[in-house]
Amino acid sequence: MKKILNLSLLVFAFSIITSCEKDFDDINTSKTGITNLDPALVLNDAVIFLSYPAGTASYELGIVQQAISSNTGVLLGANFNQVNINNTPANWTNYYQNVVKYTSDAIGKTQADPTRANLMNMARIVQAQAFMILTDTYGSIPYSDAGKGFPGQVFFPDYQKQDVIYPGLISELTAATDALDAGGKIETSDVLFGGNIAKWKKFGYSLLLRAGMRLSERDATAAAAAVAHAFAGGVITDNVDNAVVKHDANFVNPLGNLLNGTEAANFYLAEPFVKALQNNNDPRLSAIAVRYVGASSGPAQVAGVATTAAANQYGMPMGSTDGTADVAGAALPGGGSRYAFSQIDRTRMVKRTSPMFLVTAGQTNLLLSEARVRGWITTGVAADYFVAGINAHMNQMVLYDANSAVAGADRDTYAAAMLATFTGNEMAQIGYEYWIASFLNGPEAWANFRRTGFPVLAVNPYPGRTVDFITRLTYPPSEILVNSTNVQQAIDDQGPDNLDTKLWWDAN
């Protein structure tokens, strides 16, 4: 594996030296093929690329202690609290080279055409989510100048600080969502909602709610105003309105593709996640997990030794290497090695064709519960929103696979038990449930964890770390090389380009 890592680093370094100009052309240039497409189809490309890249498995899922790899080679990341240049650029590459580029093209083609106003505003909403993920990952980023290489000849975009970006995102989401008009042209080729303007409005306002809540610990006044506007406009509170990217054999789920391919035997559910669900008798564990009892290799992970029973699940300890995980795995019931720890079930939850949920009723109801506790909305009961969030995520499980369905009686028993301890523990309970409701949505799970500090998790101990969690990812080496002046200004403004520099809104 070390040889593979060394080779990959050499290839990566060579590619940076020989393709810097190509990278900027890819990010900023609108290709002829794209230029000739209907902007509705260009927006569809952007929507498809909203699916979180496979690199989230090495960082976001590990930082929030939901899934990790014990591999110390090309897959290392959060489990070892280290920078891995194979994976830290994943969000940057995906969202700038695809989502920002395509949405910029769609906006540019429609902004002077009043008959396509709905399409333009849909593209603005999609682009806002991409920028939210980017700034939540890296902090200061190209924002106003991003995507302007072809139309504006901006090849070295300035970076803007997060305290400028977030007000901009809130303004953009507000304006774009408010402007959507059910009486305007309906874009029936839309792959997200089939042109349903009511659903697009709920999506936009739900993102506005999310953006407003990001500011809860930094600017409560701005946060409350954004939350109130989003709530008044109407947000996603039912699974029928979920914003979800659907995949098929041609457009596969990136995480599912990773976990059903070469890395099928290299990622495992983290011990804190498994234990938390077991301790609370959470029926979602048996919907999510599978363990191949006694497995001592990847090929030994076969259906005949598989168990999905919650009591039989064992998560891999944080900070495990292949060696320490092999020792711990041998001590599990049934023996085996590291291959005997619990995994995300790739035959149910992370198939190549599994959906990728962007914004859900489960998440949004939980944010409404928090907003009600804070007094930022005055309608409804915090406990009711809390239970609605739990129920929505429980009911969402079947949308991954029929065999992941949670029985209604089990759902209700769990919700009642969690509700019994809600009063007096509202923020902790909401944060914990949001952590689970954002399972497989690495960027959102990580962002809300940093914002709230919930759930309370022990710091990953490797290698002797005791202070804090990873709070941001580093800029791509190619960006540092090509746009060095602006990157350095961002570092001067924000702090060192490492895993420990906190973002502006991360004031918890």
pLDDT of residue 12: 39
Domains of the chain, by residue range, sit at: 2-234+475-494, 265-344, 360-440
CA separation for the pair 150, 155 (Å, rounded): 8
DSSP-assigned beta bridge partners for residue 359: 243
As averages over each run of 10 residues, the pLDDT of the chain (508 residues) reads 37 38 43 68 97 92 98 91 94 96 96 97 99 99 83 80 98 99 96 98 99 99 99 99 96 96 97 99 99 98 99 98 98 98 98 98 99 98 99 99 99 99 99 99 98 97 82 97 97 97 96
Asked if residues 356 and 305 have their Cβ atoms less than 8 Å apart, the reply is no
Q: What is the pTM (predicted TM-score) of this model?
A: 0.92
Alpha-helical segments (H) within 79-161 = 90-94, 101-110, 117-138, 149-152
CATH architecture label of 2-234+475-494: Alpha Horseshoe (1.25)
Nearest in space to 477 (alpha carbons), one of 41, 79, 16? 16
Alpha-helical segments (H) within 407-458 = 408-419, 426-437, 442-452
pLDDT of residue 155: 80
Tally of CB atoms within 10 A around 338? 27
Asked if residues 266 and 63 have their Cβ atoms less than 8 Å apart, the reply is no
pLDDT of residue 465: 74
List all residues 6 or more positions away from 305 whose beta carbon is below 8 Å from its beta carbon.
Answer: 292, 293, 294, 295, 334
- Give Rg (Cα) of the chain: 22
CA separation for the pair 365, 367 (Å, rounded): 5
Burial class (CB in 10 A: 0-12, 13-18, 19+), 7: exposed
pLDDT of residue 31: 40
Handedness of CA 144, 147, 153, 155 (dihedral sign): positive
